[in-house]
Chain A
Amino acid sequence: MSTATERRVPDDDAVVDTPPGNRPGREALTEMSNPHRARAIKDVVARVVMWASFALAMIPLVWILATVVLKGVHMLASPTWWTGNQRNINSEDFGGGARHAIEGTLQMVGFTALIAVPIGILTAVYLVEYGRGHLARAISFTVDILSGVPSIVAALFIYAVWVTAFGFSRSGFAASLALVLLMIPVIVRSTEEMLKLVPNELREASYALGVPKWATVVKIVLRTAFSGIVTGVLLGIARVMGETAPLLILAPYTKNFQRDLFNGNFPTLPMMINNDRLDIGLAAAAERMWAAALTLILLVLLLNVIGRVIAHFGAVKK
């Protein structure tokens, strides 16, 4: 932030640096002082507006974090939170754990990534390295549309196909399918941007060594873009981790441990939050809700840290 404001300073001195040929005379200098003052005022106004916007944007962020931490942190301090589940704990009872929901969310998101990441990256490789003409344009357009689909619509679509048409029951897997639909466009777009950043010169250098195109794409292009792609994948995962609408429609909550993604109800953190929200009047339920919310935020944070570390070790060396 401070560098951005400091960068304005040389601009203010620019008048002093006017080349001798253009340097105004004494009278002209007094005339010049008006526009100079106007510019100084604009500079101050712009600075104030910028800082005010920054502060305004920070208020809700800090507020949310503070609320969630203050109301949720003490439950996280208890070991039961990380080992137990909510079985036989009624809304008015204090305590219980979130292990079932943490495991469920990680399992569901992991499974989603397993399907969506390869599809997303391969689609981006096709669009950037191979795609020409109508097919590529059609795919690109489809991805654009897909990225604009609201999560509840994706969920209803999976419900219509998976449950109504094919006759399967609701499950964690069905919710995963909806999350795949939401994750693919994020991965495609971010990977595409990263692949476009790889200079063409590197591809040409590789071709000129007699390296086939597929090897160039795998060993040179994807390798060079690796850390950017990882960042994109993690953004995609973070995007679907807190997604709630598909879970409401496709994966009913359970308070028990449930590791089978394909049959029966499935516990997840967003659904745990939602479940306790229904009894928010009860102190015990409210406390659990905040604790679950904080846990979800921490999971996303942890994922980002892991991503940074991977990206750091895979980054282009200088």
Chain B
Amino acid sequence: MAKRIDVSDLNVYYGGFKAVEGVSMTVEPRSVTAFIGPSGCGKSTFLRTLNRMHEVIPGGRVEGKVMLDDQDLYAASMDPVTVRRTVGMVFQRPNPFPTMSIYDNVAAGLRLNGVKNKKTLDGIVEQSLKGANLWTEVKDRLSKPGAGLSGGQQQRLCIARAIAVQPQVLLMDEPCSALDPISTLAIEDLVNELKNDFTIVIVTHNMQQAARVSDRTAFFNLKATGEPGRLVEIDDTTRIFNNPTEQATEDYISGRFG
């Protein structure tokens, strides 16, 4: 489990529009890497290229290379569905399947991929809910609708759903931005535990959060509106927040931007 991501010189386009330009970085396995930067700088867009979710939007395409250990994610023979089984994702707003129970939500990824064995499913559902720190709260009402949980619980349910398919990498796109501080804390604790098993990349608008949870931080920015977003720098989180190399990073961190 847990693989290294190697990105070299990646450009992302939506139709004719270049959204992100020239990103190269390495994401270490079993670590948390945070992406920070102003809105519209392409950090979410870039995140989605790591499991080819950008292709869901019409006209989305990339130039460049993304390697997951020794696998080229954009090789002609690579099926995007396989990529997404290996690289899971948690979204900004909790999105449990509304027609499914808590159990069915966690089992969804496996069931829809053809796993039918009740015992296997039971085991993985319990293990995933425990992994997402949700088991004790829901173990007596697994057959209740997932949409009936609180926002923070729903988000942990979505994390349980994502880790149930046993991915190598977990991408999190602002997973706490729709949650209250207590639920946020629960998710942050969870991220800290999950990094023992997964490679985690997290996009956040909350710089304290980046400082709290991540080992390395990448700062994205764009030169001007309409220009493509780019990676300004990536370094150890302590270094980014205390002594960044780039002036732009220092300005953003200290609130002197724009």
Contacts from A to B (Cβ < 8 Å)? 132, 199, 201-212, 215-216, 219-220, 223-224, 226, 316-318
Which residues from B are CB-within-8-Å of A316? 98-99, 147
State which of B23-31, B77-85, B221-229, B243-251 sits at the interface with chain A.
B77-85
CB distance A208 to B147 under 8 Å? no
**Least Cβ distance of A216 to chain B in Å?**
8
* B51 interfacial contact with A, CB 8 Å: yes
Instruction: List, in ascending order, chain B residues with CB within 8 A of A209's CB.
Output: 84-85, 88, 108-109, 112-113, 161-162, 165
**Known contacts A223-B99, A318-B145, A207 near B56 by CB under 8 Å:** yes
Q: A residues within 8 A CB of B99?
A: 223-224, 226, 316-317
Name the contact of A210 in the complex, choosing from B56, B147, B165 (C-beta under 8 A). B165
Question: Which chain A residues lie closer than 8 Å to B258 at the CB level?
Answer: none
30 contacts between A and B (CB under 8 A): A199-B95, A201-B91, A201-B93, A203-B56, A204-B53, A204-B89, A204-B95, A205-B96, A205-B97, A208-B51, A208-B84, A208-B89, A209-B109, A209-B113, A209-B161, A209-B162, A209-B165, A210-B165, A211-B81, A211-B109, A211-B113, A212-B81, A216-B112, A219-B112, A226-B99, A316-B147, A317-B101, A317-B145, A317-B147, A317-B148
CA distance A220 to B97 in the complex (A): 8
Tell me the minimal C-beta distance from B148 to chain A in angstroms. Answer: 7
A207 contact set on B, CB distance < 8 A: 53, 56, 84
B158 at the interface (CB under 8 A from A): yes
Q: Which residues of chain B have C-beta atoms less than 8 A from A202's C-beta?
A: 95, 97-98
Chain A binding site: helix, strand, loop or mixed by DSSP? helix
A215 and B81 alpha carbons, distance in the complex (Å): 11
B58 interface hit (Cβ, 8 Å): yes
| Chain A residues with CB below 8 A from B93, complex form | 201
20 additional A-B pairs beyond A208-B51, A208-B53, A317-B101, beta carbons within 8 Å, are A202-B98, A204-B91, A205-B96, A205-B161, A206-B108, A206-B112, A207-B56, A209-B108, A209-B113, A209-B161, A209-B165, A210-B86, A210-B165, A211-B81, A212-B81, A220-B97, A223-B99, A224-B98, A226-B99, A317-B148
Contact assessment for B95 and A210 in the assembled complex, using a CB-CB cutoff below 8 Å: no
For A318, the chain B residues whose CB sits under 8 A away are 145, 147-148
**Inter-subunit contact B113/A210 (CB<8 Å):** yes
Is there contact, CB below 8 Å, between A205 and B98?
no
Task: Give CA–CA (A224, B145) in the complex, Å.
Answer: 13
> Residue among A203, A212, A317 with the most chain B CB within 10 A?
A317
Alpha-carbon distance between A223 and B51 when the two chains are bound, in angstroms = 26
CA distance A199 to B101 in the complex (A): 18
Residue from B85, B86, B99 whose CB has the most chain A CB atoms within 10 Å = B99
Most buried by B among A205, A223, A316: A205
CB distance from A218 to the nearest CB of B (A): 9
Residues of B contacting A132 in the complex (Cβ-Cβ under 8 angstroms): 58
Contacts of B98 on A, CB cut-off 8 Å? 202, 224, 316-317
Q: A204 vs B58: C-alpha distance in the bound complex, in angstroms?
A: 13
**Can you name the residue of chain B whose Cβ is closest to the Cβ of A208?**
B89
Residues of B within 8 Å of A215, CB to CB, are: 112-113
A210 touches B91 (CB 8 A): no
Which residues B58-100 have CB closer than 8 A to chain A? 58, 81-86, 88-89, 91, 93, 95-99
Q: How far is the CB of B79 from chain A (nearest CB, A)?
A: 9
B142-158: CB near A (< 8 Å → 1, else 0) gives 00010110000000001
Instruction: Count chain A CB atoms within 10 A of each CB in B51, B81, B98 and give the residue with the most.
Output: B98
Q: Taking CB as reference atom, which chain A residue is nearest B158?
A: A205
Q: Which residues from chain B contact A317 at a C-beta distance below 8 Å? A: 98-99, 101, 145, 147-148
Decide: B58 and A210 in contact? CB cutoff 8 A.
no
Instruction: Give, as a whole number of angstroms, the nearest-CB distance from A214 to chain B.
Output: 10
Distance between Cα atoms of A2 and B158 in the complex (Å): 41
Specify the chain A residue showing the minimal Cβ separation from B79. Answer: A212
User: What 5 pairs between A and B have smallest CB-CB spacing?
Assistant: A210-B85, A209-B109, A208-B89, A317-B145, A201-B95
Q: Which residues of A contact B113 (CB under 8 A)?
A: 209-211, 215
- Whole-angstrom distance from the CB of B205 to the nearest CB of chain A? 19
Taking a contact as CB atoms closer than 8 A, the residue among A210, A220, A224 that contacts B81 in the complex is A210
Contact B91 A224 (CB under 8 A): no
Complex interface: chain A residues within 8 A of B101 (CB): 317
